[in-house]
């Protein structure tokens, strides 16, 4: 049994952190579903940037959309929705078989709207309606200003992938927004079965303190933070507040491990896959990491529901001068800035590609 299949049987969903038109047209994504237990995928601006910049798969579509006078963000979202709706259809049997728990794809709203919850909500509604697929998550950052948009989107019946979370406390705030949205739906006599995942970014923790960690704890901070968040997740699912919502028909907001590509060349390439094995969670991994784990990954015991040694490890980091709470806020702020940069880079890429396609058409 492949390591990927072992994780799947443990109860963890394996999602691909990639989407390109080539993956779809070549049948590669179908093969990953069939052979590597992939049951969903995520996307982000950087992924689309590289796919559009480095391949010709999008040239014909860009040419046609330029004739329809589409540019910038509108052009991007049309291209992205074409890919993601096609991927969503591939995952639809999984989605149906799991009653909506699995089989999802994700698309984020423009990060330029991050500080404007009303506009974020409007964009989320528009994208979800345009896709017209029940298994499309709309990604909304779990920042302070994003929480109200998350709550309102859930209340509006829009499935949300809460992104840009780094810590237990940030996760709990996002979970609170999700539950408030569900509670409002119940109060309004609406169906409470609106799905969500909460995405915690892992590898950036260890990259941010490289060379500053206490002896023997290189590449250990991200997993310790994840274990602490996992304990909070399991505790929340047993809380009276959640059990009351579940009794009304609500689905748990699953915890998702994001940014699971190893950034330390000295560490195992599958560090954040084997180290984050846990039932009722999602691990979304870059394509190279997926293939590496399928080839030589090891599946250890699952993360203990009590977080195992996470508090001991985090205390050692604290005594070594690493303030995890402060660093989590810094990482979220820097992540939001990086999202904006990636978005602007993507729009520049699309404009450049559009000019190149137009020039080629005139030859």
pLDDT for position 68: 66
So what's the pLDDT on residue 66? 73
Catalytic residue among 2, 65, 139, 212: 139
Give the pairing of strands 160-165 and 38-41.
unpaired
Distance CA 275, CA 216 (A): 16
For residue 261, give every residue at least 6 positions away whose Cβ sits within 8 Å of its Cβ, in sequence order, or none. 17, 203, 272, 285, 286, 288, 289
**Residue 238 pLDDT > 50, yes or no?**
yes
Q: Give the per-residue pLDDT at 70.
A: 66
Give mean pLDDT, residues 28-35: 98
* pLDDT tens-place string over residues 177-225: 999 999 999 999 999 999 999 999 999 999 999 999 999 999 999 999 9
Grouping H, G, I as helix, E, B as strand and the rest as coil, residue 283 is strand
Determine what percent of the chain is predicted with pLDDT higher than 90.
87
Structure tokens at 4: 């990927």
pLDDT exceeds 80 at position 69: no
The CATH code of the domain that includes 136 is 3.20.20.70
Task: Output the pTM of the full model.
Answer: 0.95
263 labelled catalytic: no
How many structural domains compose the chain? 1
Predicted confidence band of residue 117 (pLDDT cuts 50, 70, 90): very high
The stretches of the chain forming alpha helices (DSSP H) are: 3-10, 21-25, 28-35, 45-54, 59-67, 72-97, 117-131, 146-155, 168-187, 203-208, 221-237, 240-247, 271-274, 287-296, 310-319, 324-361
Average pLDDT of the segment spanning 54-83: 84
Q: Give yes or no for residue 363 having a pLDDT over 50.
A: no
- Whether the pLDDT of residue 16 is over 60: the answer is yes
Cα gap 199→168, rounded to integer Å: 11
**pLDDT category of residue 1 using cuts at 50, 70 and 90:** confident
Q: In the structure, what pLDDT confidence band is assigned to residue 61 with cuts at 50, 70 and 90?
A: confident
Residue pLDDT, tens place only, 285-319:
999 999 999 999 999 899 999 999 999 999 999 99
362 — pLDDT class (breaks 50, 70, 90): very low
Domain coverage including residue 154: 3-361
**pLDDT tens column, 250-289:** 999 999 999 999 999 999 999 999 999 999 999 999 999 9
């Amino acid at each position: 049994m492949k390591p990927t299949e072992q994780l799947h049987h443990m109860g963890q969903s394996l999602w691909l952190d990639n989407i390109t038109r080539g993956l779809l047209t070549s049948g590669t994504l179908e093969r990953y579903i069939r052979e590597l237990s992939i049951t969903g995928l995520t996307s982000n601006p950087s992924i689309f940037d590289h796919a559009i910049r480095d391949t010709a798969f999008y040239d014909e579509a860009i040419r046609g959309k330029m004739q329809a006078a589409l540019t910038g963000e509108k052009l991007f979202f049309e291209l992205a929705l074409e890919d993601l709706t096609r991927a969503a259809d591939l995952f639809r049997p999984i989605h149906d078989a799991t009653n909506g728990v699995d089989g999802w794809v994700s698309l984020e709203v423009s990060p330029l709207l991050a500080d404007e919850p009303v506009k974020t909500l409007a964009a989320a509604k528009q994208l979800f309606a345009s896709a017209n697929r029940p298994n499309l998550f709309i990604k909304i950052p779990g920042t302070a200003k994003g929480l109200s948009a998350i709550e309102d989107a859930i209340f509006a019946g829009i499935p949300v992938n809460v992104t840009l979370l780094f810590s237990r406390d940030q996760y709990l705030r996002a979970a609170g927004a999700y539950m408030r949205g569900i509670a409002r739906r119940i109060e309004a006599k609406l169906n409470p079965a609106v799905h969500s995942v909460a995405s915690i970014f892992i590898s950036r923790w260890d990259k941010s303190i490289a060379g500053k960690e206490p002896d023997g704890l290189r590449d250990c901070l991200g997993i310790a933070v994840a274990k602490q968040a996992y304990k909070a997740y399991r505790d929340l699912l047993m809380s009276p507040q959640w059990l009351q919502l579940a009794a009304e028909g609500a689905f748990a907001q699953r915890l998702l491990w994001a940014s699971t590509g190893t950034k330390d060349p000295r560490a195992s390439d599958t560090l954040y896959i084997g180290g984050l094995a846990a039932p009722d969670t999602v691990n979304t991994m870059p394509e190279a990491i997926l293939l590496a784990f399928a080839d030589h990954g090891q599946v250890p015991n699952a993360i203990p529901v009590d977080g195992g040694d996470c508090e001991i490890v985090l205390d050692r980091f604290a005594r070594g001068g690493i303030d995890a709470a402060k660093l989590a806020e810094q990482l979220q702020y820097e992540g939001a800035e990086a999202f904006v940069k990636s978005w602007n880079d993507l729009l520049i890429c699309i404009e450049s590609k559009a000019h190149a396609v137009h020039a080629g058409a005139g030859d």
